[in-house]
Structure 1
Amino acid sequence: MIKIAAILGACSLALSGCGTALTVLQNDEDAARSLRKQKTYCQSIPRVYSGLAYDFCILNASPDPTGVLVPFVLLDLTLSGVADTVCLPYTLYRQAADGNIGIYWRTGRG
């Protein structure tokens, strides 16, 4: 029973930091706020493969003085690639309907 709880806890922790979960499951403003907090230089990210774009924007942010973030982002690139492929039908529709996720402006189109 404890092993199952530990596995579920690890999975939920991994998903909470997953770029795909942050961009597909949250609203646009929350995803944009998260990237602004990281001081990224990206202006917007596409909805198609948004988890990968999110991770690349994290890597293209102001340097992390501790350097701890980079290994987790590199691992998340792989996981986000798989999750983004699964979400592709939904994100293709959202890209056509709403455009990119704007990071430094309120609307998705810009």
Structure 2
Amino acid sequence: MKIAILLLPALLLAGCGTIDTVFREDSVASEKLKERKSYCGGVPRIYSGVTYDFCSLHAPVPENGRTSTGPASTYGMLIDIALSSVFDTLLLPYTIYQQQTDGSLIITQ
């Protein structure tokens, strides 16, 4: 039981937009949004996790229906947006510096 409690935060953070945009390479976030055929052309580094999640949320539904959609998926995304907003706020000094030095994440189409 203790292991499950310790693994739950790790599993929640694995799909977190902030983790994908701040702590991983730029190509990871770019590829994921390109696979989802997101309408976003770029993601600013400031509050990048929240922006990334909104881009994922507003991506078109795939024709093959292989990904989960519906209320459960939407609620999971809303939880991720809430968590990302907290982490993005905590990381704000770093992401402001990163925006100034590197610019926005560009999603190549």
Give the partner amino acid of 2:74.
V
Q: How far apart in 1 are the matches of 2:57 and 2:9?
A: 23
- Offset of residue 69 of structure 1: 2.5
1:85 alignment partner, one of 75, 86, 89: 89
> For 1:79 and 1:17, how far apart are their aligned partners in 2?
11
How far 1:63 sits from its partner (Å)? 2.2
Question: What TM-score comes out, normalization by structure 2 length?
Answer: 0.88
Count of aligned pairs = 103
- Listed as ranges, the gaps of 5+ residues in structure 2 are none
1:31-53 Cα deviation digits (max 9, x unpaired): 11111111111000000000000
The 3-state SS of whatever aligns with 2:53 is helix
Unaligned stretches of 5+ residues in structure 1: 106-110
In structure 2, distance between residues paired with 1:18 and 1:46: 16
Say which SS state the counterpart of residue 96 (structure 2) adopts. helix
What residue number does 1:51 align with? 49
Greater than 2 Å deviation, 4+ residue runs:
63-69
Correspondence for 2:7: 9
State the alpha-carbon separation in 1 of the partners of residues 108 and 53 from structure 2.
17
User: Amino acid of the residue matched to residue 87 of structure 2?
Assistant: A
What CA distance in whole angstroms lies between the structure 2 residues aligned with 1:6 and 1:89? 33
User: Match for 2:95: what amino acid?
Assistant: T
**Alpha-carbon RMSD:** 1.4
Question: Identity of paired residues, percent?
Answer: 45
Greater RCO, 1 or 2 (C-alpha within 8 Å, sep 6+)? 2
**Structure-2 residue corresponding to 1:60:** 58
* TM-score, scaled relative to structure 1: 0.87
